[in-house]
Chain A
């Protein structure tokens, strides 16, 4: 049983790490601010769920797990909110999405 939990926890941790890595690559490769944020924010939330889930399985039923759940709730509330705030701030500041701006905006790198 503990072997199974350990394996599951490592699978979750690896998947979480991969998800954050994909987000990082996305943030570097995407053409404009909104797509970059999309790449980073979605994978970030998923990565947080997976990594914290993996650590929870390692911690077992203890006070640490309850603290991890609190951290997870906090991250699930704040991370999408900050992405939303950032995107709306960018829109207010006049940054246009790439597809709408057409060819004359900065070219994808």
Chain B
């Protein structure tokens, strides 16, 4: 039954992908990309990867759609017709597809217990997490502690991407299509969205905090929580206008948040060295190694959440300021 449902979702995904390529209206393409993200998130959930599904739904279907729309507001809605060599691109795509299909022949069967992914380090993680860290969500244990270096790298990727986008958008002269007072006004004259938004925003923030601090017990963590909190504040900016959103969280604070996350993460790692352990070894943070691990994961997840929130909001405001 699950396999049938998975095939159904994947078929819809292929149809959506074809539709994205075929449409020349970029607005439609952005909406279809949101649908594609939601479909792949449902598929991840079907494969029991709830953490990844939550990330994909929050970032792929939620925030990136908003950012794409912000980018579209600066350009035109239609794709420019181009007369490049279609045959060449077709050959490149076909060759890449053939290589990928050939590569799948060597893949283990779906759910094969002998597959390398099931026999390599995964059993060790599943076995040792209760002993070393004692939290129910093994994904968070792997992400925060066992593979803490990778997550540190990811935080720096997010941070660097944020800086890059800010550099790109702040240079040059703003060519605004939308008048400034319209941006500052938001949807203040539209009663229904505004009232419902006001009711919902506190709960969305609360849910974001729940996802952040419940990450050790259920699906969730810094990446998802950062995206959800950023979404709540973007909703506030859309409803009440840019100006009021920026008076709540000024640009300087956002830049501080962007830098604060990697700093917090790195500081936890250095604290491990200073207390006599290795870099990012949380066991020495407390007298009880298990408690130390839990404290370390809590702190680095907070760092991740702060960075993601700061970067997403800074990018959103940069797009909005560009439109002025």
- Chain A residues in the interface with B (C-beta under 8 A): 74, 77-78, 81, 84-85, 88
B192 touches A85 (CB 8 A): yes
Query: What 0/1 pattern do residues 180 to 217 of B give for CB contact below 8 A with A?
Result: 00000001001011001101100100000000000000
Top 7 closest A-B pairs, CB basis? A81-B196, A85-B193, A84-B192, A77-B196, A81-B193, A81-B192, A77-B200
Chain A: which residue is nearest B196 at the CB level?
A81
Q: Give 12 CB contacts A-B under 8 Å.
A: A74-B200, A74-B203, A77-B199, A77-B200, A78-B200, A81-B192, A81-B193, A81-B196, A84-B192, A84-B193, A85-B187, A85-B192
Least distance between B62 CB and chain A CB atoms (Å): 13
* Across-interface contacts of A85 in B (CB, < 8 A): 187, 190, 192-193
* Across-interface contacts of B203 in A (CB, < 8 A): 74
Chain A: which residue is nearest B203 at the CB level?
A74
- Using a Cβ–Cβ cut-off of 8 Å, how many residues does chain B contribute to the interface with A? 9
Least distance between B44 CB and chain A CB atoms (Å): 19
Chain B: which residue is nearest A77 at the CB level?
B196
Least distance between A105 CB and chain B CB atoms (Å): 20
**Distance of A85 Cα from B187 Cα, bound (Å):** 10
**Distance of A89 Cα from B192 Cα, bound (Å):** 13
**Distance of A85 Cα from B196 Cα, bound (Å):** 11
Least distance between A17 CB and chain B CB atoms (Å): 14
**Distance of A13 Cα from B200 Cα, bound (Å):** 27
Least distance between A59 CB and chain B CB atoms (Å): 16
Say whether chain A's binding surface is mostly helix, strand, loop, or mixed.
helix
* Across-interface contacts of B187 in A (CB, < 8 A): 85
* Across-interface contacts of A78 in B (CB, < 8 A): 196, 200
**Distance of A88 Cα from B190 Cα, bound (Å):** 9
Known: A77-B199, A77-B200. 16 other contacts (CB 8 A): A74-B200, A74-B203, A77-B196, A78-B196, A78-B200, A81-B192, A81-B193, A81-B196, A81-B197, A84-B192, A84-B193, A85-B187, A85-B190, A85-B192, A85-B193, A88-B190
Least distance between B7 CB and chain A CB atoms (Å): 19
Chain A: which residue is nearest B190 at the CB level?
A88
* Across-interface contacts of A77 in B (CB, < 8 A): 196, 199-200
* Across-interface contacts of B192 in A (CB, < 8 A): 81, 84-85
Query: What 0/1 pattern do residues 96 to 124 of B give for CB contact below 8 A with A?
Result: 00000000000000000000000000000
* Across-interface contacts of A88 in B (CB, < 8 A): 190
Least distance between A41 CB and chain B CB atoms (Å): 13
* Across-interface contacts of A81 in B (CB, < 8 A): 192-193, 196-197
**Distance of A84 Cα from B197 Cα, bound (Å):** 13
**Distance of A47 Cα from B211 Cα, bound (Å):** 27
Chain A: which residue is nearest B195 at the CB level?
A81
Least distance between B218 CB and chain A CB atoms (Å): 11
Most interface-central of B196, B197, B199 (chain A CB within 10 A): B196
* Across-interface contacts of B199 in A (CB, < 8 A): 77
**Distance of A77 Cα from B202 Cα, bound (Å):** 14
Interface residues of B in 240-270 (CB under 8 A from A): none
Least distance between A15 CB and chain B CB atoms (Å): 21
**Distance of A78 Cα from B199 Cα, bound (Å):** 10
Least distance between B158 CB and chain A CB atoms (Å): 28
* Across-interface contacts of A74 in B (CB, < 8 A): 200, 203
Least distance between B161 CB and chain A CB atoms (Å): 29
Least distance between A90 CB and chain B CB atoms (Å): 13
Least distance between A88 CB and chain B CB atoms (Å): 7
**Distance of A84 Cα from B196 Cα, bound (Å):** 11
Least distance between B178 CB and chain A CB atoms (Å): 14
